[in-house]
Amino acid sequence: MSESQVKAFITSQVARYAHSVGSHKYRVDVHPFPALSPCTGPLNKELSNPEQPVGRLTLTLSCETPYHWKARIKAKVSVLVKMVVAGKPLRRNQQITRSDLSLKATDIAYIRHGYFTDMSRLTGKAMKRNVQAGHILTPRQVEMPEWVKKDSEVIIEARRGTMVAQMKGIALESGAQGDTLRVRNLSSQKEILATVTGHNKVNTLF
């Protein structure tokens, strides 16, 4: 498997994830690696975080024929999402207007507490705390009715085309309708990002 093939494989996984969070802007940088040994049988490929392939990743390749070998390839991935930020300093208890907000393309790899992509969802809501201009607004900073509570059990609905699968998960933070939250998939024990769609219901793509 050549470096271009490795990058193509990782890029395909990143593109799928980027689409699930509404982004078409991403970058994949594969670290240099030595030539791989020949493989005449199936080449197994395992990505370190297939459900959220951003940040620093490891692609593990393994082969059994003509002999067993394993290689680990490092990569750095960024996915840019337009997130709602404070267009000016906002004060605690201030009612938010459209003119208070702006959009900023941000690498989702470094987001840990949710974000908004639709400014209309914040209009009329109130700030829970002071926020400086340019800061990403998170669900915990704004007064909104919570449909999902931290540590509560949720139903994860995963979609791929016309296929739909449901599984149980645990919310790792609270959120309202449309919020993007961290959720732990109880089947795989993997942490994923999912969007709140109803009371104790979240949606993601796979």
* Confidence (pLDDT) at 206: 66
Q: How many residues does the chain have?
A: 206
* Confidence (pLDDT) at 51: 85
* Confidence (pLDDT) at 146: 80
In 3D, which of 147, 146, 166, 165 has the Cα closest to residue 155?
A: 166
80-143 and 153-205: same fold?
no
pLDDT values of the chain reduced to their tens digit, one per residue, 206 residues: 778 889 999 999 999 999 988 899 999 999 998 888 899 989 999 999 888 899 999 999 999 999 999 999 999 999 999 999 999 999 998 989 999 999 999 999 988 888 999 998 888 888 999 999 999 999 889 887 788 999 999 999 988 777 889 999 999 998 887 788 999 999 999 999 999 988 899 998 76
| Contact in structure between 137 and 106 (CB atoms under 8 Å) | no
pLDDT tens digits for range 28-45: 999 998 888 899 989 999
Q: Could you name the CATH architecture of 80-143? A: Alpha-Beta Complex (3.90)
* Confidence (pLDDT) at 96: 93
* Confidence (pLDDT) at 112: 81
CA angle 102, 56, 110 (to 5 degrees): 25
Sequence ranges of the domains in the chain = 3-79, 80-143, 153-205
Give the CATH number of domain 153-205: 2.30.30.760
CA quadruple 182, 129, 178, 87: dihedral positive or negative? negative
Please state the pTM of the whole predicted model: 0.66
